[in-house]
């Protein structure tokens, strides 16, 4: 019995953990018409390379700007915001904060496409659907109170 549990634990540890490989958003819900601070959580670099920039497309239904983070320079562009600097080593985790407002007419969910830059490498977290290989983080929008 102990051998079976040990074998199962070893096999489970060898399986890929796709949920840990994504850019996550916290909180995962916000209310229409209300201000919000959203953390984009980066859990790793790009195939061994350190993260040097993060770019976020700001979709309809959300207005937001990046907050300063030590060692990183906030960047505001046409339809996107982000940070550059760091670097954030490949196996380190960090949160990048957006401060904004959810529009009163925002859809029920807002995907935030993210491009993670690691020197000359990129990972594009832009695909719809949580089960895709490179899913965009999604904010669920609740009715106003």
Instruction: For residue range 59-106, list pLDDT tens digits in order.
Output: 999 999 999 999 999 999 999 999 999 999 999 999 999 999 999 999
Give domain limits for the chain: 19-142
| Separation CA 30–CA 33 (nearest Å) | 9
SS3 call for 7: helix
Please list, in sequence order, all residues whose beta carbon lies within 8 angstroms of the beta carbon of residue 109, skipping any fewer than 6 positions away: 138, 139, 140, 141
**Range 19-142: architecture per CATH:** Sandwich (2.60)
The overall pTM is greater than 0.75:
yes
Mean pLDDT, residues 36-48: 96
Instruction: For residue range 113-133, list pLDDT tens digits in order.
Output: 999 999 999 999 999 887 888
Cβ atoms 43, 34 nearer than 8 A: no
């Amino acid at each position: 019995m102990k051998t079976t549990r040990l074998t199962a634990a070893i096999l489970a540890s060898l399986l890929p953990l796709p949920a840990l490989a994504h850019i996550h958003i916290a909180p995962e819900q916000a209310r229409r018409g209300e201000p919000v601070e959203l953390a984009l959580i980066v859990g790793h670099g790009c195939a061994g390379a350190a993260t040097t920039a993060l770019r976020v497309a700001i979709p309809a239904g959300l207005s937001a700007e990046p907050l300063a983070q030590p060692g990183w320079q906030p960047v505001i562009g046409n339809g996107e915001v982000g940070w550059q600097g760091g670097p954030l080593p490949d196996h380190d985790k960090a949160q990048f904060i957006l401060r904004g407002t959810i529009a009163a007419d925002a859809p029920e969910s807002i995907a935030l496409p993210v491009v993670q830059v690691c020197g000359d490498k990129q990972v594009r977290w832009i695909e719809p659907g949580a089960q895709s290989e490179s899913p965009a983080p999604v904010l669920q929008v609740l009715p106003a109170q």
